[in-house]
């Protein structure tokens, strides 16, 4: 009974704050609502007994990505600025399309009988997770782990290269930084 109440509260938090995230006119508030959604998802993972995944969700998503998003909001828009939405006709059409898609998916989900696997299994500890992550045996996940580390390295370099201010070198002139050019343009 208690876990059902917890689940319904968490589900309500997730849905309400998801809607607020996509409809709020104030961008910073939308980011904070997104944070609430991510924390509620972490609670869902804790309920399913995946403690390590919930911790990763809290640190990477709630701690990392949301902070990154909030920083970029502060860099690119004014606090008092109100976000523009699509015109009314487009909003209505998108709402129609998404409601139709949700209805279709929900119909399929509710008509399918899932048979939960109730065989008792040993509790998976963080130790098991770590061993499986670096194991190259049959049940191991060393290859995806290495692929992800290459991807993270590539995106790290990519983010630096994209965000770096490059110096413009014009023929016959001194080096002019982009910043100086912008300043003179203003």
Phi, psi torsion values for 123, nearest 5 degrees: -65, 135
- Quote the Cα angle for 153-158-162, to 5°: 155
80 vs 172, which CB is nearer to another protein? 80
Minimum CB distance to another protein, residue 171 (Å):
22
Q: Are the C-beta atoms of 45 and 22 separated by less than 8 Å?
A: no
d(CA 45, CA 15) in angstroms, rounded, equals 16
Beta strand pairing call for 167-169 and 175-177: antiparallel
Q: Angle between the 2-23 and 27-47 helix axes, to the nearest 10 degrees?
A: 160
β-sheet bridge partners, residue 176: 168
156 vs 180, which CB is nearer to another protein? 156
Minimum CB distance to another protein, residue 184 (Å):
15
112 vs 172, which CB is nearer to another protein? 112
102 vs 168, which CB is nearer to another protein? 102
């Amino acid at each position: 009974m208690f876990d059902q109440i917890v689940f319904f509260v968490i589900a309500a938090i997730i849905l309400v704050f998801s809607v607020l995230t996509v409809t709020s006119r104030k961008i910073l508030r939308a980011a904070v609502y997104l944070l609430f959604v991510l924390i509620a998802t972490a609670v869902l993972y804790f309920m399913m007994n995946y403690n390590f995944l919930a911790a990763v969700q809290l640190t990477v998503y709630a701690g990392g990505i949301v902070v990154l998003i909030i920083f970029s909001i502060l860099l690119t828009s004014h606090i008092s600025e109100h976000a523009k939405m699509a015109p009314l006709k487009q909003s209505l059409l998108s709402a129609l399309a998404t409601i139709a898609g949700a209805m279709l998916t929900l119909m399929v989900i509710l008509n399918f009988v899932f048979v939960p696997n109730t065989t008792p299994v040993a509790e998976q500890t963080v130790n098991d997770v770590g061993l499986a992550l670096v194991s190259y045996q049959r049940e191991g996940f060393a290859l995806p782990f290495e692929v992800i580390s290459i991807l993270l390295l590539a995106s790290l370099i990519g983010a630096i290269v994209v965000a770096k201010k490059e110096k413009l070198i014009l023929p016959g002139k001194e080096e002019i930084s982009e910043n100086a050019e912008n300043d003179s343009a203003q």
